[in-house]
Amino acid sequence: MAEIPADHPRHDSLVTRHRIEAGVEKGITSKQGLVAQGRGEAFDYLLGEETIPSADNAERVAAAYLLLAEHPVLSVNGNVAALVPGEVVALAEVVGADVEVNLFNRTAERMEAIAEHLREHGAQDVKGLEADARIPGLEHERAKVDRDGIYDADVVLVPLEDGDRAEALAKMGKTELVIDLNPMSRSAQSAAVPVVDNIIRALPSITEHARDLRDASRKELEEIVAGFDREAALEAAEKRIREGDLD
């Protein structure tokens, strides 16, 4: 890839594209992942390519949920692995979460390539390869999960995916934290906490909030969670997209 000057107006977007391209070349990201990235970019452009205040608040709430959880799990697909592998590992460490690979286009080769990529970025134990449990009500490959991973989790961070697994996990009684640039997507709509932000910005922000809140009392964390208004967060993002207004 040609060197991208740091002051290029589309620097971050071009670096992100390069990571996705490299992910496809490494067998991590699916070709559909390229399309998903394009869709995300369009929403990011409309959001002003920045973390809007309501998203920052949702990121703080997501951090509080992860810190309160008995068994939090961060779900990783081919786009997430290509874009933010080190950031996933960093967040997992701060909140004590498991990391599980879960793919729509699941093949043994991609599962192994992603697990290895995460290990190269410091992950100790990558779940998802056992696939000894199923999410009820889902026909496709995303139903395959680890019994001691997503199946057992109480809080799951689900970034960048279409809505049916998000809905099925919610039916299992799990609390879902979704990162998705499209506030109208089914997964954002069904999430306990929709984080409408680019995962490139969202994951480091959740980690920073988690570091800040690490010493907070349970009561304080519970108050942060109870005070969250998911509808207002979705509306603020949609308003920014439609009207360019600050929320």
- Residue 32 in contact with ligand PTJ, rule: CB under 6 A: yes
Smaller CB distance to ligand PTJ: residue 49 or 235?
Answer: 49
Q: Which of 37, 54, 75, 207 binds ligand PTJ (CB under 6 A)?
A: 37
Binders in 188-247 for ligand PTJ, by CB under 6 A: 198-200
161 residue type, one letter:
E
Pattern of binders to ligand PTJ over 172-191, x per CB under 6 A?
Answer: -------xxxx--x------
Contacts of 184 (CB under 8 A, 6+ apart): 238
- Residue 77 in contact with ligand PTJ, rule: CB under 6 A: yes
The annotated binding site for ATP is made up of 17, 39, 180-182, 186-187, 198-199
In degrees rounded to 5, what are phi and psi of residue 8?
-60, 135
Q: How far is the CB of 6 from ligand PTJ (least distance, A)?
A: 20
When computed from its CA atoms, the radius of gyration of the chain, rounded to whole angstroms, is: 17
- Residue 85 in contact with ligand PTJ, rule: CB under 6 A: no
Give the HSE-up count for residue 88: Cα atoms under 13 Å, Cβ half-sphere: 35
- Which among 7, 4, 5, 17 has a CA at the least distance from the CA of 198? 17
Contacts of 173 (CB under 8 A, 6+ apart): none
Site residues (vs ligand PTJ, CB under 6 A): 30, 32-33, 36-37, 39-40, 43, 77-79, 83, 103-105, 160-162, 179-182, 185, 198-200
